Amino acid sequence: MSHPQSPASIRKSLWQGMLAAMPLSIAVIPWGILAGSYAIEAGLDMIQSQAMSAIVFAGAAQLVAVGMIKSGIGLTSILLTTLLITSRHFLYGMAMRQQMSPLPLRWRLTLGFLLTDELFAICSETKQHKFDRWFAFGGGFSFYLIWNIASAVGIFAGQQIPNLDELGLDFAIAATFIALVVPAIKTPSILVSVLVSLIMAVVCELFHIPGGLLIAALSGMSAGMLTAKLTNEPHPNKTILTRPGEDQ
Amino acid sequence: MIWLTIILMTVIIFISRYIFIEPKLPLRLGPGMVKFLSYSAPAVLTAILAPIVFIQDNTLHLNLDNSYLIGAVFAVLLILITRNTLLTAVLSMLLFFLVH
């Protein structure tokens, strides 16, 4: 099962993974700072605030949960909201099942823990036989480190950086995801999938439909699948997302 | 209470990430399901970014006063021309903060 890799090729994979995750890691820095300072503002102590980033390690869920703690909302509601926000990870696990489930336990636990939107975005293109665990680890772990360092900065700065959330920092996430999604549109059915997902996400958000993200994504995926079937779209290469710089 | 919240959140989130990569989970993905899941990355990432770009203060903003939309269109053009993720992310952020 485990194919031995030379230290040189491991280093190369780690490095490539880190580079692939770099735009995402940079885009997430302001969010990490925000997550840290917001936790302090909500009354968590420094260790609790850092633990949010170090062991929960889920940006959106952290920010929402801290907001709920701050407003004194009960544990059950916080956990249900967490479940709703985190439900997209079920999809990521399923999509990565062929690549990750054959790995040894310690690898599954590590990569499972690191399986964020960002790691999924850089890993999802690799085929089963080409899946490189060190590439995934390099990307996932560098992202984890940067998220935690940024959180620590926010924790130390504390309330000295108010209104960080009004600067339009969410654009960084949008821009990076656009840069990943657009090159992935290689067939008409993927285009349909993306457009349906886009419209559904906007509609769900406007009408405050809970779980809108997942509803939108599943609608888009179904629409893509249906389009491929109706138009008899030939199976292209299975590549969905391409590593930066790989397709020149 | 805060520690309990942190620990239970950790458990829920870890399970959601791990459960489907556990080989003992009795689940075989057929070719149809694999094809379906192949759309998941572009679909989910789009579902995350679309509300950021099109909605501010609970209203749809489809006009050119929306700096998010201008930045997003710029990002689409940049990635089509350069095919470089990092360059696209950085340049479109710069433009965004200029117009924002």
DSSP per residue over B41-83, as a string? HHHHHHHHHHHHHHEETTEE--STT-HHHHHHHHHHHHHHHH-
| pLDDT (0 to 100) of residue A237 | 52
Contact yes or no for A91 and B44 at CB 8 A: yes
Contact yes or no for A176 and B53 at CB 8 A: no
Q: Is A203 on the interface with B (CB under 8 A)?
A: no
Which two tokens mark A94? 């399923």
Q: Does A127 or A97 have the greater pLDDT score?
A: A97
Computed over every residue of chain B, the mean pLDDT equals: 93
With CA atoms as reference, the chain A residue closest to B17 would be: A89
| pLDDT (0 to 100) of residue A120 | 93
Average pLDDT over residues B52-61: 92
The per-residue pLDDT for range A151-165, each reduced to its tens digit, is 999 999 876 666 665
Q: How confident is the model at residue A246 (pLDDT cuts 50, 70, 90)?
A: very low
Between chain A and chain B, how many beta carbons pairs sit less than 8 Å apart?
A: 271
Contact yes or no for B38 and A248 at CB 8 A: no
Contacts of A83 (CB under 8 A, 6+ apart): B12, B16
Residue A244 in this model has a pLDDT that exceeds 60: no
Q: Which amino acid is at B81?
A: I
For chain B, the domains span 2-99
Computed over every residue of chain A, the mean pLDDT equals: 88
Longest dimension (CA), chain B: 53
The per-residue pLDDT for range A4-36, each reduced to its tens digit, is 688 999 999 999 999 989 988 988 888 899 899
Query: Tell me, what's the ipTM?
Result: 0.91
- The alpha-helical segments, DSSP class H, found in A158-187 are 170-181
pTM, 2 dp: 0.85
| pLDDT (0 to 100) of residue A4 | 66
For chain A, the domains span 7-182
Chain B contacts in chain A segment 83-142 (CB below 8 A): 83, 86-98, 100-103, 108-109, 111-113, 115, 117, 120-121, 124-125
DSSP label of A44 = -
Average pLDDT over residues A221-235: 92
Q: Which amino acid is at B51?
A: P
| pLDDT (0 to 100) of residue A1 | 45
| pLDDT (0 to 100) of residue B55 | 93
